[in-house]
Structure 1
Amino acid sequence: MTEELVTLETAKLLKEKGFNEYCRDVINDKGLMMETVFRTSNDLPKSFYSRPTQSFARKWLRETKKLHVEVSYMYGDYWIYDILTIPNHDLVGLSDRPLVHYKSYEEALEAGIQEVLKLI
């Protein structure tokens, strides 16, 4: 089993919102993925983006932005996510977000991470 890396769209949003952590994996605007000698976003060429694992991106959002993506499995064999503030546990999110039934935990987590990034 391997951990899922964020998508190109999420990697771009992370860089835009200040993500500047060391990552082994990077991706460019053309979708070309590669490994590098652990560099931060600021050390990469303009069209390249750090590509952390979903769990690392989620942790960065918790620790730096005080927002938590919570993924839940639902009866009916689908997944959803919610966004909660830390430490108050207030539910936040885009008011016009439809309730989407995701086919996997990772798909729901990716969508939640993207929404958090759009909120900040």
Structure 2
Amino acid sequence: MANRVHRRVIVQDYGKAIYKASSKVSLLAVLEGCIEGYKSLHTQAGILQCNMSPSNLMVNEDVYNPSWCSFLIDLDLAIKEQWEESSGARGKAGTPAFTAIRVPLDEANHSFMHNLEPLFWVLFFLDMHSL
């Protein structure tokens, strides 16, 4: 496990989970922002988040803190898309209800598309448990 480093700095809570958004319009805007954030993470750093779930997509509706209005958290399972050796993680992890169907079946290596499917399941979950 020499190739894994875990760092965490917590100063204060920031934002809240997407399912706590104040309205459906806000929720959809946050989902769009998280998709853009994921796209940026992938295209600029070659990183796949690998744990998309309603608890990992965050919204900031604090008018006194106008920083990012939406963002991704929980990158501890994130992987480089082009890695040269195993990360050292054992088995598949993440939130099972929001995992792409093919990932647990080992039918394919984890790819960019495997994180787009969980975003669909998040949207489906949020619609079924509407605000």
Greater share of residues in strand: 1
Tell me if TM exceeds 0.5: no
TM range (shorter): under 0.3
Considering only CA atoms, is the larger Rg found in Structure 1 or Structure 2?
2
TM-score, reference length from structure 2: 0.26
Q: Which has the higher contact order (CA 8 A, sep 6+)?
A: 2
